[in-house]
Amino acid sequence: MSSTPPLLPRKSPRQRRSQLTVASLLEAAAQLLETQGLEGFNTNAVAERAGVGIGSLYQYFPSKDALTLALLEREAARFEADALAALEVPDGPAALRHLIRASVRQQLERAELARLLDEQEGRPELRAHLDKGRFGQLINTLLQRPGLPPQADAALAAADVAALIRGLVDGAGERRETDLAHLQCRVEAAVFGYLERAAAAARGLQGRECESGMRAGAAPA
Amino acid sequence: MSSTPPLLPRKSPRQRRSQLTVASLLEAAAQLLETQGLEGFNTNAVAERAGVGIGSLYQYFPSKDALTLALLEREAARFEADALAALEVPDGPAALRHLIRASVRQQLERAELARLLDEQEGRPELRAHLDKGRFGQLINTLLQRPGLPPQADAALAAADVAALIRGLVDGAGERRETDLAHLQCRVEAAVFGYLERAAAAARGLQGRECESGMRAGAAPA
Amino acid sequence: MSSTPPLLPRKSPRQRRSQLTVASLLEAAAQLLETQGLEGFNTNAVAERAGVGIGSLYQYFPSKDALTLALLEREAARFEADALAALEVPDGPAALRHLIRASVRQQLERAELARLLDEQEGRPELRAHLDKGRFGQLINTLLQRPGLPPQADAALAAADVAALIRGLVDGAGERRETDLAHLQCRVEAAVFGYLERAAAAARGLQGRECESGMRAGAAPA
Amino acid sequence: MSSTPPLLPRKSPRQRRSQLTVASLLEAAAQLLETQGLEGFNTNAVAERAGVGIGSLYQYFPSKDALTLALLEREAARFEADALAALEVPDGPAALRHLIRASVRQQLERAELARLLDEQEGRPELRAHLDKGRFGQLINTLLQRPGLPPQADAALAAADVAALIRGLVDGAGERRETDLAHLQCRVEAAVFGYLERAAAAARGLQGRECESGMRAGAAPA
DNA sequence: CATGAATGAGGTTTCATTCAT
DNA sequence: GATGAATGAAACCTCATTCAT
């Protein structure tokens, strides 16, 4: 019947006690991923660290992937709670900076966890069940705001901005950077730099070879 | 687990046949990674696809990680052969564009392989044995070239540029983009945009809040 | 990819040693089924009794069901080696008696094993992969031989005869009967009795209510 | 495993609601067995389908086997309610036909359920607690009725008749036959044929080789 | 050197059963 | 009584690695 193993939560915890169990499991999973890496991320260890029996894990998550997925969603929710506030900001650049700040915070707070979860997102079994675009869509919306250079293909630009933020912040995480403000600066440089030049390229040079290197005059005086 | 398993090649293949075997194994590993993902990447499968016995694999690679490492190095070498030519180019922007072109090519040619290998690079067991900085160092060198805005911390800027390239190109790979020229354009936008603004920030605003959003007048007329 | 677990043998053993391993595994499976019932029939126990590692079992049988299937086929082959000789006998009744003898022998020799395997045959996962009809086809062929009453629907009659033999012999096995000759007698009574009366019914009473009870004159003088 | 788990009903339900719960559980068990096979027959699923908590199941049945046993008994009772009417019929053949009709009906009505329960009857844990002979005893009684050929060992003959009916009807069930009348016919042919020939063999050929094949003259003209 | 049979620690998952609420 | 969360022994299976041939 069920060829692909199930990923939807097996049962939603109604009682107080079980909600606690589920939360413990997710946090245990997060901690293991952080401290032991993928290596130590196995269901027995998760259950043990959560202080519950392995059976309890499978009461709530029908498979290991379902657990991973739930963790991914927990982190996504955590992020969105922070990031959606950007929608309140009418000014484009300000809103974008807000979003970048949320990204940087999220990724640096639990850097290794974030990095490993990003990897898991790439696994084909999980990708199907993921609202992959949400981050991109949010950016897409913000790109329409006044004060930002208009993009030819806004969706693509949004995806690029998302990828670029992620790349920079992951890299910083790997180097164990902790200076949020400094990192924020550099990410902004990349994002706004990209947007400006991409817009310029689209405007000026339809069809011609892309030419966005350092030109005389483009470099600041 | 017991002690740390050996990662250095067990023996360097001197004879012709051995070299061929090693090459088959590496290519088999690459193909499996590409087509089956991490899931299907196991030593028995690699040996089988390479058309040799599993015993032979362990003749040349003392452990699975050693094999992964060798593959990582093969790809790095492949890339450098392409990228080092950038050093011949005296002009900064042109050299950088050359390097970006190599990156884009490498990552899109075998996108899934590149992505999975990037992940492997992150594994602690392998990181220790990796010349992690080589890409960054190359960029670092190029950043000194004339025509590029001077960076406060060149090493950091180089790392950022590397991360940013990787992020953009991985994202494109996941979306199965194939238009190399277009992607190249966007990456250039991000890289040169970043460099310019980062330099400006460093120049103008020591210690003050970073302020690199869209300013009136910064947006092209 | 592979939703239903694989049932085809994973690799055919080429070397002498592995053929021995496979044989040990099958015999171990048979013995466990006989002595411990389904309860004790698990892959670890099978491997242990066979004196090999659990890994070896899975070298040759990709799943527990594949092992069961192989055992089923081993027993079927064993039986056919005995039963096919019936085809040499031209006389219908004699050939049928030969076949019955083979059935009785097979089922009583390892009664519990035979019973449990019959049950396994019913499992949907295995039924698909089984030449279910072979026994029936053999009977079908024999039913055409001279000396036997002609049946309206030979295939159905063959299936009935097969079912009837199996029922009687399983029952005897459960009661731990050991007198082969006596059992043989009773099975023959049922088989030949069925054939005769079924033929008579088909001949005489098309469409009318079936009427095959004890009639005056039908009972022997 | 520890000791032998209890099989007797934990408490006889005196109150109305309890009886209803028990009935739900039994019917749920039956349906699961029918639709999902042994695979899907587990206590949690039974309780869920019955619409009660798993705890309640264990209020009434101290173990899974106790539940199975109760279901077995429910079906036996169902059958006997139908079959015992045969005792009212004085004529031997008619009574036997009545019994066969009941068997055929029972087995074809819920064929898969009947088959799986027959298998469970074979499990050593349950056999001990089963009035195995009741069906045989009933037949045994009927075999004494006038109009049926006298059997040397009536108990054995009864067991054979029972086995033979079950074999034929199970076979028909597996083939998903639905024509009750036709099946009835064939079963009668086997039963009466067996009884007649078994009697003849006992009468004529004490000690000699059993000889019940098709003889000249026995075959219909 | 090459082979591939053998290994077994360790991972995922199920399900009968208990017991606090 | 009824509930359902929790349990954990035990089942199935994988795969990195070894070693006799």
pLDDT-wise least confident of C125-129, D113-117, D129-133: D129-133
Residues of B in Cβ contact (< 8 Å) with A123: 37-38
Residues D99 and D146 in one domain: yes
Q: Are residues C110 and C53 in the same domain?
A: no
Mean pLDDT calculated for residue range B96-100: 92
Chain E positions under 7 Å from a protein CB? 1-20
pLDDT recorded at residue D188: 95
pLDDT number for residue D14: 57
Task: Report chain A's terminal Cα–Cα distance, integer Å.
Answer: 68
- Look at residue C211 and tell me whether its pLDDT is greater than 80: no
CB D213 within 8 A of CB C94: yes
Give residue D4's pLDDT band: very low, low, confident or very high (50, 70, 90).
low
Provide, in whole angstroms, the distance separating residue B43's CA from nucleotide F21's C1': 22
Quick one: average pLDDT of A71-95? 91
Q: Which of B165, B158, B161, B207 lies closest to B186 in space, CA to CA? A: B165
Let me know whether D78 and D52 are in one domain. no
Q: Which range, of A168-172, A207-211, B114-118, averages the lowest pLDDT? A: A207-211
pLDDT (average), residues C143-166? 92
| D56: nearest nucleotide, CA–C1' criterion | F2
C28 and C80 share a domain?
no
Radius of gyration of chain A from Cα atoms?
21
| D149 neighbors D210 (Cβ within 8 angstroms) | no
- Looking at the fold, whether C57 and C100 belong to one and the same domain comes out as no
In a domain, C212, yes or no: no
Q: Which nucleotide's C1' is closest to C65 (Cα)? A: F12
Residue C23 Cβ under 7 A from any strand E atom: no
Asked whether residue D58 falls in the same domain as residue D121, the answer is: no
What is the token pair recorded at B3?
A: 């002690």
Give the pLDDT score at B208: 52
Q: Residue A66: is its pLDDT beyond 70?
A: yes
C24 touches strand E (CB under 7 A): no
- Residue B145 pLDDT > 70, yes or no? yes
Subunits with 3+ C-beta pairs closer than 8 A to B? A
Chain D residues whose CB is inside 8 A of the C197 CB are 188-190, 192-193
pLDDT class of B42 with cuts at 50, 70, 90: very high
Q: Which nucleotide is nearest to A52 (CA to C1')?
A: F6
Q: Do C93 and D214 touch (CB under 8 A)?
A: yes
Q: Which chains touch A (3 or more CB pairs under 8 A)?
A: B, C
Average pLDDT rounded to a whole number, residues B20-45? 95
C209 located within any domain: no
What is the CB-side half-sphere exposure of residue A204 using CA atoms within 13 A? Answer: 12
If one compares B12 and A109, the residue with the highest pLDDT of the two is: A109
Q: What is the reported pLDDT for A218?
A: 44
Could you read off the pLDDT of B103-134 as tens digits, one per residue?
A: 899 888 898 999 999 899 989 989 888 887 78
Give me the pLDDT at residue D6, please.
67
Whole-angstrom Cα distance, residue D150 to residue D161?
14
Nearest nucleotide from residue D64 CA, by C1' atom: E16
Q: Say whether pLDDT at B66 is over 50.
A: yes
Residue range D205-217: average pLDDT? 55
CA torsion sign, A120 to A123 to A127 to A128?
negative
Domain that holds residue C106: 72-204
CA-CA distance, C163 to D115, in Å (whole number)?
13
Question: How many CB atoms are located within 10 Å of the residue D83 CB?
Answer: 23
Q: Is D108 exposed, middle or buried (0-12, 13-18, 19+ CB in 10 A)?
A: buried
The rounded distance, in Å, linking the Cα atoms of C212 and A99 is: 88
Please check the confidence at residue D107 and state whether its pLDDT lies above 90.
no
CA distance D5 to chain C (A): 15
Residue D219 inside a domain? The answer is no
C160 located within any domain: yes
- Most confident of the following: B209-213, D30-34, D108-112: D30-34
Closest by CA position to D109, among listed D134, D132, D79: D79
Quote the number of domains for chain B: 2
Chains D and C touch (3+ CB pairs under 8 A): yes
CB atoms near residue C206 (< 10 Å):
8
Residue D154: pLDDT over 60: yes
CB-based contacts of C33: which residues, under 8 Å, 6+ apart?
Answer: C41, C71, C112, C113, C116, C117
Stated length of chain D: 221
Is pLDDT larger for residue C63 or for residue C15?
A: C63
Tell me, what's the pLDDT at C201?
Answer: 84
* Residues of chain C with C-beta less than 8 angstroms from the C-beta of D206: none
Query: What's the CATH code of the domain at D27?
Result: 1.10.10.60
Q: Which pLDDT belongs to residue C116?
A: 93
- List the A23 CA – E18 C1' distance (angstroms): 24
A59 Cβ nearer than 7 Å to chain F strand: yes
Please check whether strand F approaches the CB of A16 to within 7 Å. Answer: no
Chain B residues in contact with A159 by the CB 8 A cut-off are 171, 175
| pLDDT confidence band for C26 (50 / 70 / 90) | very high
User: Which of A81-85, B82-86, C61-65 tops mean pLDDT?
Assistant: C61-65
Angle value at C-alpha B74, between B72 and B79, nearest 5 degrees: 95
Helices (DSSP H) in chain C: which residue ranges?
16-36, 43-50, 54-60, 64-83, 92-109, 111-122, 124-127, 134-143, 154-174, 180-204
pLDDT at D206 over 90: no
Q: Which long-range contacts (CB under 8 A, 24 or more apart) does D201-208 make?
A: D201/C185, D201/C189, D202/D151, D202/D152
Q: Which residue pairs, CB below 8 angstroms and at least 24 apart, start in D212-217?
A: D212/C185, D212/C188, D212/C189, D212/C192, D213/C93, D213/C94, D213/C96, D213/C97, D213/C188, D213/C192, D214/C92, D214/C93, D214/C147, D214/C148, D214/C149, D214/C192, D214/C195, D214/C196
- Asked, for residue D175, whether it belongs to a domain, the answer is yes
So what's the pLDDT on residue D201?
A: 84
Q: Kindly report the number of other CB atoms within 10 A of residue C197's CB atom.
A: 25
C-beta of residue A114 within 8 angstroms of C-beta of residue A173: yes
pLDDT band at B209 (very low <50, low <70, confident <90, very high): low
DSSP secondary-structure letter at B208?
Answer: S
- DSSP reduced 3-state for A151: coil
B6 lies in some domain: no
CA distance C39 to D145: 43
Q: Treating both helix axes as pointing N-terminal to C-terminal, what angle do C134-143 and C92-109 enclose, rounded to 10 degrees?
A: 150
Q: Is residue B218 part of a domain?
A: no
pLDDT attached to residue A50: 95
Task: List, as one string, the DSSP characters of C152-188.
Answer: SSHHHHHHHHHHHHHHHHHHHHHTT---HHHHHHHHH
Of B residues 21-40, those with CB within 7 angstroms of nucleic strand E are 21
Dist. CA A171–CA A53, nearest whole Å: 37
pLDDT computed for residue C212 by the predictor:
58
pLDDT above 90 covers a percentage of chain B that reads: 52
pLDDT band at A132, cuts 50/70/90? confident
Q: What is the CATH number of the domain that holds A175?
A: 1.10.357
Q: What is the pLDDT of residue A185?
A: 92
Q: Which two tokens stand for residue C121?
A: 């045959």
**Nucleotides of strand F lying closer than 7 angstroms to a protein CB:** 1-20
Please tell me the distance from the alpha carbon of residue D25 to that of residue D43, in angstroms, as a whole number.
10
A149 closest CA partner among B216, D102, B115: B216
Kindly tell me the sign of the dihedral angle through the C-alpha atoms of C149, C154, C160, C164: positive
pLDDT band at B212, cuts 50/70/90?
low
Burial readout A143-158 (b: 16 or more C-beta within 10 A, e: otherwise)? bebebbbebeeeebbb
Nearest residue (CA) to C1' of E11: A42
Higher pLDDT, B82 or B25: B25
**CB neighbours (10 Å) of residue C205?**
13
pLDDT at res. B131: 82
| Subunit contact B193:A189, Cβ cutoff 8 A | yes
Q: pLDDT > 90: what percent of chain C?
A: 58
Q: Is the CB of A5 under 7 A from strand E?
A: yes
Candidates B13, B26, B39, B21; CA nearest to B72 is B26
Q: Provide CB contacts within 8 A for A42, sequence distance 6+.
A: A64
**Whether residue B196 sits in one domain with residue B91:** yes
How distant is the Cα of C3 from the closest Cα of chain A, in angstroms?
4
Q: In 10 A of CB B83, how many CB atoms? A: 23
**What pLDDT score was predicted for residue B218?**
44
Residues A48, A81 within the same domain:
no
Sign (positive or negative) of CA dihedral C148, C150, C155, C158: negative
Tokens of C60: 């040759």
Q: Are residues B40 and B128 in the same domain?
A: no
Residues of A in Cβ contact (< 8 Å) with C4: 3
Neighbours of B203 (CB within 10 A): 12
Q: Are A163 and B167 in contact (CB under 8 A)?
A: yes
pLDDT above 70: residue A4: no
Q: Average pLDDT in the C78-87 region?
A: 90
Shared-domain flag, residues D124 and D93: yes
Domain-embedded: residue D130:
yes
Same domain, C177 and C140: yes
The distance (Å) linking the CA of C58 with the C1' of F21 is 22
- Collapsing DSSP states into helix, strand and coil, what is residue C62? coil
Judge if A187 and A159 occupy the same domain: yes
pLDDT in tens, C31-40: 999 999 999 9
pLDDT, mean of residues A33-41: 94
Residue C137 has a pLDDT of 87
Query: Strand F: which residues 17-46 of C lie within 7 A (CB)?
Result: 41-44
Lowest mean pLDDT among A195-209, B127-141, B156-170: A195-209
pLDDT average, residue stretch D148-153: 92
pLDDT at A220 over 60: no
Which residues 62 to 121 of C reach strand F, CB within 7 A? Answer: 62-65
